[in-house]
Amino acid sequence: MAEDDNAKKIAEIEARRAARKAGTAKAREVQYAKDIARADELEEEHGDDRVAVLKMPSYVPELPTLVVVSTPSPGVFNRFRQMVRKAGQNTEAIGAAKDLLASSCILYPDADTYGRMKESWPSIHDNVGVEAIRLGESEGKG
């Protein structure tokens, strides 16, 4: 009888988990549809090769599922490079340069929403900075 009770409890828990996960997946899908539509608009506006789309690894209700990053302007990218050169081995100053670059290259979402995203994904700003640097680099011809 105890085995039947355990099997019943396990089945109930698994059913509850499956329903919760299905609800989360549906909510993420609804949010992603909004986000990808905006990303598509920004790609058309700025050029497919001039933006990057970073997808979030998990879903947080009321937050976007992605961030759209633009290619930095020449002035911003030059300022970033100057700050990095001046920083030398000062990792804090290098981080400040990367933060400045990242902040100037976010096309989507708005600043307030992005601030909330940074609370949920602490390394997001580093990832945005890396994408901005990548977009600002030129490709070598070999």
The whole-model pTM stands at 0.85
Which of the residues in the chain have pLDDT under 50? 140-142
Could you give the domains of the chain? 2-136 (3.30.2220.10)
d(C-alpha 139, C-alpha 142), whole Å: 9
pLDDT reported for residue 1: 61
Q: Which of 64, 68, 56, 66 is nearest to 135 (CA)?
A: 68
